[in-house]
Structure 1
């Protein structure tokens, strides 16, 4: 896979970890530092013990082009996964099997299913791409390989909160990744729930996140949910995003109903290190609740455990693992 030279870096520790650890799913979850500690000083709302960290936010993935003609709808499968030094297991941003491919629309955007947790950039991160297009053949070997390779994104690849689009070229096509590096950021887990839907309603909901800041203008948009909702729905989605300390998270809602006018609403969540916030949209035909749960990414070694990054990396450096 071809890479833009600006994304490359020498990362001995990361390369060692990736080459020696099997392809397992990330063992860390989101919201690991949500519950305040007794030692938060002076208190958890203005905690000075736990620190904001540099994080990566991936806004979107887009299938830019394919090298050969694909008749009919494009059925994409495979994975895009991030590995950071906090825990170099795969943190999937996109993950579909051949039996459950994503039908890519005309705009080329790839519906993301992750990341599972925040992406910490205390050092460069590695992103793996392995994407294929399902063809009419019976076997996977008949399918078209779009891209298969890795790219390393340095922690200094971009200025703070600057939205970048990087094209990743593979043998059978290209994928655009839109991202930003956020300094002094917190992890926000956004959960969307819905209730009190009128029976027989034909509703579609679109929720998107963005940033507002007195320091800069951000053009990145985060898709939180986009789809049809039913009376049986409860929790619609969960998304993990990074939010910088010098900004706020903006959540915009659009509810469309057959034969009626679209309903637009907006709310803003200030950044925290711990705890959670929620906002309820009472829309008449439905009630939508958005809950944002905050967590710093300075996860202590005691929570990482021997199956995560600390053990393998420290062993490679000849340092004994100590559970703090």
Structure 2
């Protein structure tokens, strides 16, 4: 069993806990609605009465918290409060780490210098890049509130980490024969303004990710050479709405290091809101990103979701409006189960950062004479342990002379990509591999019973280097 210290440390980095014999926590999205619900589920089992053992005297929960906060909330060396880390803040000593995290895993790097739209100002002969625009609300807060705001933010996040660690510890104590899934770990959700925002530093997330720019990233960007790529598998909404179904609209976008503009994986206007049924486990249907998502160690999640009500837009209810950071550091090829907690609901994500991967553009053409409900799914090495838990490409009724859709996924270099079609209880498979022309394997003629289907995959078609 992982110690409490290990769990808090892993939880602070959004890592799943080492429990190979436990089921896939996202397989059927059988998550508790919140940690309290999960606790009720395990209270019926016989648990240890004693608290979790601490391995050393250094495993004090407060010390663990400070270490986690140092990882998740690095402090600026020249901050007004005189401390550069949370450990130093508690102990009253200065930290000797004089590097500044640029929000992208680098140290002391000015993000804006690599993008258009920056204004250049000269100070004492040195060129400093200052973003031309920003929607950062930091200037609306007095600098005297920096300490209190960051402390409140850190305390809230730490409580989520500890609650998650305790629940995981209880689940692990049930033994290998128990099939209770682990809950999603908390994501690093930014408050409206952080201390970095209030101090006007260029390392605040608004400036690093240029959140004032709400345009869409160009679809022409991408790399031919294998890179670390983000693949989002599922997004689940656990709403506290009293009645169902509910209609949801809004955006969910990723801003990565290749280009800070929005790359949508969910984008529904109000007149095209998606209806989520309770029996569907609140899984939100995702759209294809317009290009692959490249992540060295961090990326920004931007979410703004609404519930459509009867009447006009003024009656609608906002579920989420937040920025959260995906922080995987060097942990590639690990499945992440994370949660963005809100006042009215939770948003649970399943994603993975695949090392040495390329874009794969999947194009599907169909001619169907009779209506059928079809489901297209993509699966490749590193996705999951079961093919039909891969990336859902299309899940709807299909009918007509033509139906063409395109979906972009990340695939590890030189690995096979399988595309599955499920229709009327039958499953058909195409297999593709980079540097092979056409499909390596295709369905037999029995597929013509349902229609004509043509699937094509293009690997790494772009190169912006």
Distance, in Å, in 1 between the alignment partners of 2:438 and 2:249 is 35
Equivalent in the alignment of 1:277: 438
In structure 2, the residue matched to 1:172 is 344
Matched, 1:151 2:324: yes
Deviations along 1:101-121, whole A, 9 cap, x unmatched? 110122101011121110001
TM-score by length of 2: 0.52
Divergent runs of 4+, >6 A: none
Partner residue, 1:122: 296
Matches within 5 A, 1:131-142: 131-140=305-314, 142=315
Is residue 429 of structure 2 the alignment partner of residue 266 of structure 1?
yes
Which structure shows the bigger proportion of residues in helix conformation? 2
Q: RMSD of the TM alignment (CA)?
A: 2.8
**How many equivalent residue pairs?**
264
Equivalent-residue separation in structure 2 for 1:116 and 1:264 (angstroms): 28
Structure 1 equivalent of residue 171 of structure 2: none
d(CA) in 1 for partners of 2:259, 2:277: 33
Deviation digits for residues 147-173 of structure 1, max 9, x if unmatched?
A: 11111112427442x222111112221
Given that 2:220 and 2:462 are in contact with CA atoms closer than 8 Å, whether structure 1 keeps it comes out as no
Q: How does 1:107-256 map to 2 (within 5 A)?
A: 107-140=281-314, 142-156=315-329, 158-160=331-333, 162-195=334-367, 197-198=368-369, 201-212=370-381, 217=385, 220-235=389-404, 237-245=405-413, 247-256=415-424
- 2: CA distance between counterparts of 1:156 and 1:217? 24
Q: Check whether the contact 1:64–1:174 (CA below 8 A) recurs between aligned residues.
A: yes
Q: Is the alpha carbon distance of 1:276 and 1:54 closer, same or farther for their aligned partners in structure 2, counting shifts above 3 Å?
A: farther
- Cα deviation code 1:9-49 (max 9, x no counterpart): 7544383243465211112336x56xxxxxxxxxxxxxxxx
- The C-alpha deviation readout for 1:111-158, integer Å capped at 9, x for no partner, is 111211100013411010111111234233x22221111111124274
Whether contact under 8 Å (1:82, 1:91) holds in the other structure is yes
Q: 1:163 to 1:297 in 2, by over 3 A?
A: farther
Report what 1:87 is aligned to: 259
Name the TM-score, length of structure 1 as normaliser.
Answer: 0.73
Higher relative contact order (CA 8 A, sep 6+): 1
SS in structure 2 opposite 1:99?
helix
| Match of residue 214 from structure 2 | 23
1:156-202 CA-partner distances (Å, limit 9, x unpaired): 27442x2221111122211111100100001001111113x34xx23
CA deviation profile, 1:61-84 (whole Å, cap 9, x unmatched): 110233x42x34210011000001
Paired with 2:377 and 2:327, the residues of 1 have a C-alpha distance of 27
User: Deviation of residue 251 (structure 1)?
Assistant: 1.4
SS at match of 1:116: coil
The answer (yes or no) to whether the contact 2:306–2:317 under 8 Å persists in 1 is yes
Q: Which residue number in structure 1 is paired with residue 13 of structure 2? A: 6
